[in-house]
Amino acid sequence: MIRHPAFRADPWAIRETALDLDALPQTESIFALSNGHIGLRANLDEGEPFGLPGTYLAGCYEARPLPYAEAGYGYPESGQSVVNVTNGKIVRLLVGDEPFDVRYGTLEEHERRLDLRGGLLHRRAVWRSPTGQVVRLRTTRLVSFSHRSVAAVHYEVEPLEEDVPVVVQSELVANEVLPDLGGDPRVAALLAAPLEAELSDRYGAGALLVHRTRASRMRIGAAMEHLVDGPEGTEWHVEVADDLARVTVTADVGPGRPLRLVKFLAYGWSGSRSLPAIRDQVEAALAGARHRGWDALVRDQRAYLDNFWSRADVEIEGEPALQQAVRFALYHTLQAGARGEERALAAKGLTGPGYDGHAFWDTETFVLPVLTYTAPRAARDALGWRHRTMGLARERAHQLGLEGAAFPWRTIAGQECSGYWPAGVAAFHVNADIADAVVRYQDASDDQAFATAVGLPLLVETARLWRSLGHFDGEGWFRIDGVTGPDEYSAVADNNVYTNLMAQRNLQAAADGVDAHPEEAAGLHAGKEEVASWREAADRMFVPYDTALGVHPQSEGFTEHQRWDFDATAPLAYPLLLHAPYFDLYRKQVVKQADLVLALHLRGDAFTPEEKARDFAYYEAITVRDSSLSACTQAVMAAEIGHLDLAYAYLCEAALMDLDDLEHNTRDGLHIAALAGTWIALVAGMGGMRDHHAGLCFSPRLPSQLSRLTFRIVYRGRVLRVDVTHDTTTYDLLRGEAVDLHHHGHAATVDPSAPLTLANPPAPRRDPPSQPPGRAPAGWPPGSDGDGDACGSDPAGAEAAAEAAAEAGAERA
């Protein structure tokens, strides 16, 4: 979609200069606004036409049954689906007696612009009605970062040729009718009328609605208030009903005499608080917003983002589309978690109902590394949610006959919601992913209060799970059998390398945490004998290796499986899960997404450079990337090994996943982990940043397509800028005391008094790896798309495959 002529490469904005109705579902996701608590899809102000209406609150869900053809012990009984709550975005317009609808009359101009610096969505339209009146519409929408419960709209309509009577209807609407999106399992279960009315009230130029979800019994409050500025004679009135509140404004307007209104919105929800408490909460938030005023809300938004970009910006020279894409990715990653405040950070954020609004391991493995180094408070809060739901994880572990905590594969509120046990129950690596995020945040923040109150309990309970899940074999090796790793084309395998190595780090970190905090550890009943057993399991962790091939099997025996017949697989047969039975995928050498290669990245300290090169080449040839989570990891490892052009191609694929709608499911919401993966591909890939041990390590190398990469990170209260060219890297402390780091394996100290510039050694020369036929990233090999430019081009055969995916869907595309 970004290749559409209506879109332009802009370093600080996403701009659409003409309205494409066929692209509405995608643009509603791309232009969505959120602060991690409230999410507003970018539906047109007038509400119609739409692709998919959507207003979401983090953690607010409806329960639904999970049906099974055959029951089994330990199967989750209930699922959870994100709720489309009361819609406060709607502002309808009548010009004369004609409703403003872009499908009728003549839309002479239309532009939308997502301002990444200001945190605002601007819209400008010039419309000639069927009866000939011409009006100009200007709107600006925001979801406040500074005021968690507040959103607002600035709305202006002005005739351009003659005086016209206009009517503006500003609404709160509950239980919107949603379109039927078919049987795509990626799309949220569409619940019909999930909200029961409890209260409707009117006051001043505003109104309030309170509802409860029918099954989960969550109470949701939504309120609106207006400031009206119009010509003399402007009138307004308010009406309310159970599922609708409306403020109607009438005025006679003309050229130079526009009608303006500011709509303040406030939202709140709770699973336990009373109706008066929710009512008072949203009314107080609304009063605060009105007291602050529109101009101050806009200033607050800009100040918040100025602060964010000062410590998080990534600058690229050499590819304008990529510069735009990385800032878009960072902005939406921030939106997903900024004000989540111990609620689940969903795979789609709050941009759409895809995956039922569930959080997965994506959060800890892809999103939290970005937030840890750019918005650490948001990372801390996301881990605080895991800690808050640990009681449920303990109950789940007990149900499964295990010690410690078994965190869910997919959830909103903390209960396991996966109805497919090989992918859900058996994917225990989520526990180690959480522990890995804890270790990373603690090292990067040096937050001792978090380490004792949140980090240590998470590390201890996840370590207990691994010690009870695994066992020592006759040769003294610690084995973890019958688990599912990140690759969803393999399941219930023995000794998945990624799982075992991440569990090893988990066990070591838990033991170190107990030693560092003995008093708090005593409260968790973590004694010396238990800690010694963790260390022994970590020291004797079994990591399979195929000596004949000289590579690590993804799991024990994997390299002995029959290889998938890629030559006989047509482009339309991807994604494979829609065209092949799982049993066949599970018994063949074919990889959906980076698994062993992800281990090379996150546990790179466990492999030699030669092992990494051989492993990467082996798995490149069998990885089909039917998952949006893969390209960024492949970019990171390609860069480290020395395949810089290939790394650049994978970087572009990650960066354009949603802007180019590569999976053809951006309509359901953005791929937040893939967006975060854009930062990972740049910072960990081209910037070579690693955090395997305490402290920072960098091994930067740039591909030929880029002439400079500059990024900033937050580390222990410092802001460090890293400026990479082909020949040198300059480290500059923008804030804080001196910091020690490693540059291409050599220790260095960056002092705040002066930047430090060091030479970049050349990348090793290696033969380029091959990919399955038709599954190479765009622009690979260089020149294959005509000019060697990977950005903005689909992989060979990907469009046909994506169309097939859009028709039938994929569980985790």
Tens-digit pLDDT profile for residues 34-65: 999 999 999 999 999 999 999 999 999 999 88
561 Cβ neighbours under 8 A, 6+ residues apart: 587, 588, 589
DSSP 335-393: HHHTT-SSS---TTTTS--GGGG-B-THIIIIIHHHHHHH-HHHHHHHHHHHHHTHHHH
DSSP 131-148: TS-EEEEEEEEEE-SSST
CA distance 240 to 396: 45
| Segment 438-484, tens digit of pLDDT | 999 999 999 999 999 999 999 999 999 999 999 999 999 999 999 99
List the one residue out of 462, 464, 495 whose CA is nearest residue 479: 495
pLDDT-derived band at 699 (thresholds 50, 70, 90) equals very high
Is there a contact between 387 and 458 (Cβ–Cβ < 8 Å)? Answer: yes
pLDDT at residue 521 above 60? yes
What does the pLDDT read at residue 183? Answer: 53
Mean pLDDT, range 219-242, rounded to an integer:
97
pLDDT at residue 801 above 50? no
pLDDT-derived band at 784 (thresholds 50, 70, 90) equals low
Whether 807 is a known active-site residue: answer no
**What is the token pair recorded at 420?**
């497919």
DSSP state of 50: -
Is residue 69 helix, strand or coil?
coil
DSSP state of 257: B
Which one is catalytic: 176, 488, 520, 556?
488
pLDDT at residue 519 above 70? yes
Distance of CA 488 to the CA centre of its chain: 19
- Weakest mean pLDDT among 264-278, 457-471, 775-789: 775-789
Is residue 298 helix, strand or coil?
helix
List the one residue out of 189, 170, 309 whose CA is nearest residue 249: 170
What does the pLDDT read at residue 68? Answer: 82
437-449 CB burial, b ≥16 within 10 A, e <16: bbbbbbbbbebee
CA distance 569 to 578: 13
How many other C-beta atoms are found inside a 10 Å radius of the C-beta of residue 529? 7
CA distance 517 to 513: 6
What does the pLDDT read at residue 807? Answer: 38
Residue 364 half-sphere exposure toward CB, CA atoms < 13 A = 28
Backbone phi and psi for residue 101, each to the nearest 5 degrees, phi listed first: -145, 120
List the one residue out of 812, 487, 791, 805 whose CA is nearest residue 653: 791
pLDDT at residue 497 above 50? yes
pLDDT-derived band at 181 (thresholds 50, 70, 90) equals low
795 Cβ neighbours under 8 A, 6+ residues apart: 653, 662, 774, 775, 776, 777, 778
Mean pLDDT, range 380-393, rounded to an integer:
98
Q: pTM for the complete prediction? A: 0.95
CA distance 108 to 89: 24
- Weakest mean pLDDT among 178-192, 212-226, 700-714: 178-192
List the one residue out of 743, 718, 740 whose CA is nearest residue 728: 743
**What is the token pair recorded at 91?**
């502002």
What does the pLDDT read at residue 797? Answer: 38
Distance of CA 525 to the CA centre of its chain: 36
Is residue 331 helix, strand or coil?
helix
What does the pLDDT read at residue 780? Answer: 82
CA angle 177, 180, 182 (to 5 degrees): 160
pLDDT-derived band at 80 (thresholds 50, 70, 90) equals very high
How many other C-beta atoms are found inside a 10 Å radius of the C-beta of residue 628? 27
List the one residue out of 747, 694, 687, 744 whose CA is nearest residue 720: 687
Average pLDDT of the chain, as a whole number: 93
The counts of H helices and E strands in the chain are 21, 32
CA distance 224 to 151: 10
CA distance 112 to 17: 7
**What is the token pair recorded at 15?**
């701009």
| Segment 597-632, tens digit of pLDDT | 999 999 999 999 999 999 999 999 999 999 999 999
List the one residue out of 655, 677, 606, 641 whose CA is nearest residue 769: 641
Higher per-residue confidence, 188 vs 499: 499
Element (DSSP H or E) covering residue 34: strand 33-34
- Weakest mean pLDDT among 131-135, 420-424, 663-667, 686-690: 420-424
**What is the token pair recorded at 507?**
């066990």
pLDDT-derived band at 226 (thresholds 50, 70, 90) equals very high
Mean pLDDT, range 751-755, rounded to an integer:
95
Residue with tokens 């970004």: 2
526 Cβ neighbours under 8 A, 6+ residues apart: 460, 510, 514
| Segment 661-694, tens digit of pLDDT | 988 899 999 999 999 999 999 999 999 999 987 7
| Segment 288-301, tens digit of pLDDT | 999 999 999 999 99
- Beta 562-563 vs 588-589: how paired, if at all? parallel
Beta-bridged to residue 431, according to DSSP, are none
